Amino acid sequence: MPSEEPVLRVRDVRKGYRGGPVLRGVDLDLPPGRVMGIVGENGAGKTTLLRVLAGDLRPDGGSVRHGGRVGHCPQETVLHDAFTVEQHLRFFQVAYGLEDLRGAEELMEALRFSGSRRARPATLSGGTRQKLNLVLALMHDPDVLLLDEPYQGFDWETYVRFWDLAGELRARGRSVLVVSHLAYDAARLDILHRLEGGVLRVADRAADRVADRTGAL
Amino acid sequence: MRGQWTCYATAVRMTFVEHLRNRLALVIVVVFIPVWAILIYALSLEIALPFHLRAAGRTVTLPANVLNQLAGALQISALITGFMMFVTTLGSASFDRRLVRAGFPRLSLIAAKLTALVVVALCVALYATGLICLTHPTAQPLLLTAALAGGALIYGGIGIALAAVLTTDLAGLVLVTVICSIDLALQSPLATPAAASVVVRYLPDYGPMQWAVSSVALDTVPWNAAGPAACWALVTAALGISAFAARTRVHRPLGEPASVSPVRSHP
């Protein structure tokens, strides 16, 4: 029986900027093999929380414990215009200490990556850049994947493939944490939280979906 | 298997790809250095000017066009190297941070940037020395190369450090240009009577300028100038490295299992 020990445990995380506190004491447990969503309004602190979880920002207080390898896909595509797709993969292969690029190639195939591996990011479409951004976060098969609005720029087909990929990860015992400002993916999630007032609350899925629809009108 | 050498070699490869993609800088190196070095020599007056070689404890007299050419070569070498280091450091800031978070050793990235700085400075200095030697005899060409490379190293370090606080290429170019222009203008006997003042000893390009003039006017090396130049090069490199380290600071690498930190009890 697989262990239910959380692969991500967050306790009383607080973070503020000059404008005031953003996170006022976030608690979170992400068990293995779960897809969790965090929704919240613009400016609620979702990206700040994800950056703290990814180790990109130091929290003012509290603790974050990871139980394995972590992958982080930032909201904006962090690629280098001087490097080709192939060079991006090679550099991250060294960073992750991977023997080969088989994992990355499988991911590119799963996401139907259409760009040439000799192309540079500036010549790729927004969606293709985002696919590369995602592959770089996933190619080392992390135990926990942190995703910040990962499907911006994806067409519908790629969006569906992304969720298929998330399902495959879950089936293999990997955990995925997706941050979004909309809750219309709620049906695809095992757990849904809402970040509000600087703290996380278990979200009412039905209410969130109605609110999203109303907001979209 | 990943070793330190693999990481360093990969980082060096990355850094040189970045530099070679900076076409504007390469055009400046190939086209503007000869234009600058030859035109400034050909068009300046040949009147004799005294230059106080403080490091050698004597005053030498050189034609104004030679002094102008030496100062010009120092300026263009410093500007190009400073600009190249600024642009690549600024342009790769987010990517470097992501790589470090993925587990890429920060030390390898720093070592690669310093390697690139030394190689760029040496290439620019050798090229400029060759051009200067074509226009007039130089008593100590190696000393001239060392002077130009020293100035380029100092401004390369300044470029890396500025990339930590500025956000646009234009701001970096303007600031490097202003600093370098003030630095060399204060040392030029043509531009300012303060050139013989003790204050010039504290300018970044004091050592390189003293060596550059000595390479033409003397048969000996004024070693007194090496100290200030080495200090400036070390300080600017240290500033650049510190700024880079601060910007790529990671609270826990992503690519490896995290060490378990104690979970504080929640009240």
Identify the pLDDT of residue B190.
72
pLDDT digits (tens, 9 = 90+) for B15-61: 999 999 888 888 888 888 888 888 888 887 778 888 888 888 888 88
Distance CA A38, CA A186 (A): 10
CB-nearest to A94 from B92, B104, B267 is B104
Chain B residues near residue A62 by CB distance under 8 angstroms: 264
For chain B, the domains span 4-247
Identify the pLDDT of residue A68.
85
Residue B265 has pLDDT above 70, yes or no: no
Read off the pLDDT of each residue in A89-117 and give the average, rounded to a whole number.
Answer: 90
Chain A residues near residue B16 by CB distance under 8 angstroms: none
A90 neighbors A32 (Cβ within 8 angstroms): no
Read off the pLDDT of each residue in A4-29 and give the average, rounded to a whole number.
Answer: 90
Chain A residues near residue B250 by CB distance under 8 angstroms: 55-56
Read off the pLDDT of each residue in A98-105 and give the average, rounded to a whole number.
Answer: 93
Question: What are the C-alpha distances in Å from A142 to residues A169, B28, B172?
Answer: 9, 45, 38
Residue B63 has pLDDT above 60, yes or no: yes
Chain B residues near residue A55 by CB distance under 8 angstroms: 101, 250-254
Number of CB pairs < 8 Å for A and B?
A: 100
CB-nearest to B101 from A55, A66, A79 is A55
Rounded to the nearest angstrom, the gap between the alpha carbon of residue B13 and the centroid of all alpha carbons in its chain is 20
Q: How confident is the model at residue B243 (pLDDT cuts 50, 70, 90)?
A: confident
Question: What are the C-alpha distances in Å from B129 to residues B44, B124, B171?
Answer: 19, 8, 29
Q: Name residue, tokens 């300028």.
A: B209
Using beta carbons and an 8 Å cutoff, which residues of B are at the interface with A?
2, 6-7, 10, 14, 17-18, 21, 91-92, 94-95, 97-99, 101-104, 250-258, 260-264, 266-267
Q: How confident is the model at residue A216 (pLDDT cuts 50, 70, 90)?
A: very low
B201 neighbors B209 (Cβ within 8 angstroms): no
Read off the pLDDT of each residue in A82-107 and give the average, rounded to a whole number.
Answer: 94
B70 neighbors B188 (Cβ within 8 angstroms): no
Using beta carbons and an 8 Å cutoff, which residues of A are at the interface with B?
9, 11-12, 27, 54-58, 62-72, 74, 78-83, 87, 90-92, 94-97, 136, 140, 142
Residue B264 has pLDDT above 80, yes or no: no
Chain B residues near residue A65 by CB distance under 8 angstroms: 258, 260-261, 263
Question: What are the C-alpha distances in Å from A159 to residues A114, A149, A153, A205?
Answer: 15, 11, 9, 20
**CB within 8 Å: B256 and A69:** yes
Residue B193 has pLDDT above 70, yes or no: no
Report which secondary-structure segment, H or E, holds A176. Answer: strand A175-180
Residue B150 has pLDDT above 50, yes or no: yes
- pTM, whole model, 2 decimals? 0.83
Closest Cα in chain A, distance from residue B9 (Å): 10
Q: How confident is the model at residue A204 (pLDDT cuts 50, 70, 90)?
A: low
Rounded to the nearest angstrom, the gap between the alpha carbon of residue A159 and the centroid of all alpha carbons in its chain is 14
Token readout for A68 is: 């394995």
Closest Cα in chain A, distance from residue B155 (Å): 23
Q: Name residue, tokens 């055009």.
A: B27
Identify the pLDDT of residue A206.
58
Residue A79 has pLDDT above 90, yes or no: yes
Q: Name residue, tokens 């900076």.
A: B22
CB-nearest to A63 from B102, B256, B263 is B263
Pick from B251, B254, B259, B260 the residue to mutate for testing the A interface (most A CBs within 10 Å): B254
CB atoms within 10 A of CB A28: 19
Identify the pLDDT of residue B40.
84
Mean pLDDT of chain B: 86
Closest Cα in chain A, distance from residue B24 (Å): 14
For chain A, the domains span 8-81+144-216
CA nearest to A82 within chain B:
B18
**CB within 8 Å: A78 and B94:** yes
Chain A residues near residue B256 by CB distance under 8 angstroms: 69, 97
Residue B144 has pLDDT above 70, yes or no: yes
Read off the pLDDT of each residue in B244-265 and give the average, rounded to a whole number.
Answer: 58
CA nearest to A27 within chain B:
B266
Chain A residues near residue B17 by CB distance under 8 angstroms: 82-83, 87
Q: How confident is the model at residue B198 (pLDDT cuts 50, 70, 90)?
A: confident
**Could you say which of 3.40.50.10490, 3.40.50.720, 3.40.50.300, 3.40.710.10 is the CATH number of the domain covering A8-81+144-216?**
3.40.50.300
Residue A213 has pLDDT above 60, yes or no: no
Residues composing chain B: 267
Residue A212 has pLDDT above 60, yes or no: no
DSSP string over B61-130: EEEHHHHHHHHHHHHHHHHHHHHHHHHHHHHTHHHHHHHHHTT--HHHHHHHHHHHHHHHHHHHHHHHHH
**CB within 8 Å: B95 and A79:** yes
